[in-house]
Amino acid sequence: MLRMGFAKKWVETIMQCVTTISYSVVMNGHLGEEFQPTRGLRQGDPLSSFLFLLCGEGLSSLLRIAEREGSLRGVKQKHFRRRKANGCQFTGCSKFNRARTLSRIAEYGEKEKEGSFQNLKDHLKKRIDNWCNRFLSQGESAHEDFQVWRGELTGEYLVHNAYKLLQIANLDSSYYLLQAEAKEFFSKLWKLQLPPKITIIIWHISWNYIPTLSNLRHRRLVTNARCPQCSDENEDCHHIFWQCSTRIEVWQLLNLSWITTFAHQDFWEWLTLIFNQGTNEQCRYFCYGLWILWHSRNQLLHERVHTTNRDLAQKIQDRVAEYKGIKVKMTSSHTRHNQRNGEDVSIMKIQFDAAFNNREFRSTSGLVVRGPMNEVLTTKSIIHRNVASPFAAEAFAGLEAIKLGIEMGFQEIQILGDSLIVIKKG
C-alpha cells in the first residue's frame, strides 16, 4: 500500500485493524491459548473486501512489471495444439508465475475461451452421462424403479402418512375406546348449540388447557398451587369443578347433586359419564355451571371478588333462561318469516326495468310476470318516445307493470323494480 501511494499513517491504521485481533482454538471443549495473526481480517469484517481489492491491484501491478521484464514465458498446454503466450510452465516457475498464469487466462483468453475449454466440457459431459446410466443396485441385471410404499393405496409417500403409521404402531388397544368416547362427547357438546364462548371453554376444560394453578406450576410460572377458594388441595380441573368443598353446593342448588356422587374417576371419565347419563337439559346446565365457576374463580384470584354459591347458582339459572328466551325468540321469528314468505309466494309478481337512450330521448320498458312458484308466466317490452330523463323512463316502466297486472286480471300483485324513487312515489 505504501508503494501504491497511500499515506504511512493510513497504512498504520489499517495494520492496527489487521494485527490487533486475536484468535483461540477450541479443542475437545477446551479453549486454547490466544494468538494474534500477522495478516488477514476476521471473517465478515467490512474492511475485508476493500483490502482484497487493494491487494489485487498490487498483484496486477507486479504481474505487469514481470511481463515487461520478460519473467513470464509461454508454455504448450496439454490437449492444445498452439503455444499460449498468455501462460507459463508450471514445473519451472514460481508460485508467483502460477498466479500470473490464471490471471492472464482470465484477462486475455476471452476470445479463445470456448475453444480452449471445449475438451474439458466434453470430458465432464461424458462423465455425467456415465453416471446417469449407472444403477444403484449392484446386482447382475438392472431393472426399473418401482414403488414400495404401502402406507397409501396410491403408493405415494407423504410425511403425514408416516406419522400416522407410527402413531398406530405405538398405540395400545384402549386408544380406540378413548377415540369413541371423545367422539360421542364432542358430538353431544356441539348438538347442545351453546354460545361459542361456552363451547370453547368446555373444549379447553376437557383437554386440561385452562391455566389452573397446577398447570402454571408445572410450567414454573407459580410456586404455590393451593386452591384459592378452600386452600385444602392443589387447584386443577378435577378439584375446581368436582371436589372443591366450596362448590359442591352449587351443583346441589341446580338439582345436579348426582354428578358429585361418582368416585374414583379421573376428570375426563367424569365428563363423559355426565354427558352419557344426563339429558340435554342437564348437560346444558352443567356446561353453563362449568363456565360460571371458572369465571368466578378468575374474579376471586385476580380481582378479589367473592361470590356466594347461591348467587352463582342463580346466575347459572339466569343465563340458561336467557339462552332459552333467545332460542324461543329466534324460533318464533323464523316461523313468522316462513309464514310471511309463504304468503309472498302466493302473490303474483311483476318485475320491471328500463333502458334510456339520452341521444334520441327514447326508452324501453321490460316486464317479467312470475307465478306463485316463481316461475315465469310471460314477458313484455314496450318502446317509449320523447322521454325526458332516466327517472321518467323508470316511471314509464312502473306504469306499464301496473297496467299489465290490471290487464291480466290479478286481484293482488307485487311490483318489483330497482328504482327506489319510483317505488316510493308509487
| Cα angle for residues 100, 102, 104 (degrees, 5° grid) | 65
> 10 Å Cβ neighbour count for 371?
14
Residue-range definition of the domain harbouring residue 369: 347-425
Residue 289, pLDDT score: 93
**Residue percentage of the chain with pLDDT more than 70:** 73
User: Alpha-carbon distance 23 to 25, whole Å?
Assistant: 7
pLDDT tens for 203-230 read 999 989 899 999 999 888 889 999 988 8
Would you say residue 190 lies in a domain? Answer: yes
Looking at the predicted structure, is the pLDDT value of residue 92 above 90? no
Amino acid 140 reads E
Task: Please give the pLDDT value at position 52.
Answer: 78
pLDDT: which is higher, 248 or 425? 248
Q: Are residues 103 and 222 in the same domain?
A: no
Q: How many domains does the chain have?
A: 3
Contact 112, 80 (CB under 8 A): no
Distance, CA of 268 to CA of 204 (rounded, Å): 12
* One domain for residues 211 and 313: yes
Burial of 237-276, coded b for 16+ CB within 10 Å and e otherwise, reads bbbbbbbbeebebbbebbebeebeeeeeeebbebbbebbe
CB 318 within 8 A of CB 352: no
Q: Is the pTM of this model over 0.75?
A: no
Most confidently modeled of 51-55, 75-79, 112-116?
Answer: 51-55
* Average confidence score pLDDT of the chain: 77
- Considering the domain architecture, whether residues 99 and 31 belong to the same structural domain is answered as yes
Dihedral, CA of residue 66, residue 67, residue 72 and residue 78, to nearest 10: 140
Q: Both 283 and 314 in a single domain?
A: yes
Amino acid occupying residue 134: R
Q: Looking at the structure, do residues 318 and 204 belong to the same domain, yes or no? A: yes
Last residue of a domain, one of 70, 88, 116: 116
Mean pLDDT of 403-421: 82
Cell of 203: 373444549
For residues 247 and 377, membership in a common domain is answered with: no
pLDDT-derived band of residue 284, with 50, 70 and 90 as boundaries?
Answer: very high
**DSSP line for 5-16:** T--HHHHHHHHH
Higher pLDDT, 303 or 181: 303
Closest to 413 (Cα-Cα) out of 392, 395, 398: 398
State the pLDDT at residue 90: 40
Q: Please tell me the predicted confidence (pLDDT) of residue 105.
A: 46
Does 13 lie in the same domain as 93? yes
pLDDT single digits (tens) 119-141? 777 877 777 776 655 554 444 45
Neighbours of 309 (CB within 10 A): 17
**Has residue 121 been placed in a domain?**
no
Task: Please check whether residues 314 and 351 belong to one and the same domain.
Answer: no
CA distances from 78 to 70, 83, 90, 121 (A): 23, 10, 12, 15
CATH number, domain containing residue 403: 3.30.420.10
Provide CB contacts within 8 A for 167, sequence distance 6+. none
Phi, psi (deg, nearest 5) at residue 94: -85, 175
Q: Is 241 helix (H, G, I), strand (E, B) or coil?
A: helix
pLDDT tier for residue 172 given thresholds of 50, 70 and 90: low
104 shares a domain with 55? yes
Last residue of a domain, one of 116, 134, 165: 116
How far is the CA of 69 from the CAs of 65, 72, 95, 410, in angstroms? 6, 8, 17, 116
Closest CA to 297 of 209, 230, 392: 230
Q: In this model, does residue 108 exceed pLDDT 80?
A: no
Helices 196-206 and 280-298: crossing angle in degrees, nearest 10, is: 80
Residues 6+ apart with CB under 8 A from 296: 307, 312
The average pLDDT across 93-122 equals: 54
Q: Are residues 352 and 322 in the same domain?
A: no
Q: Which of 72, 89, 116 is the last residue of a domain?
A: 116
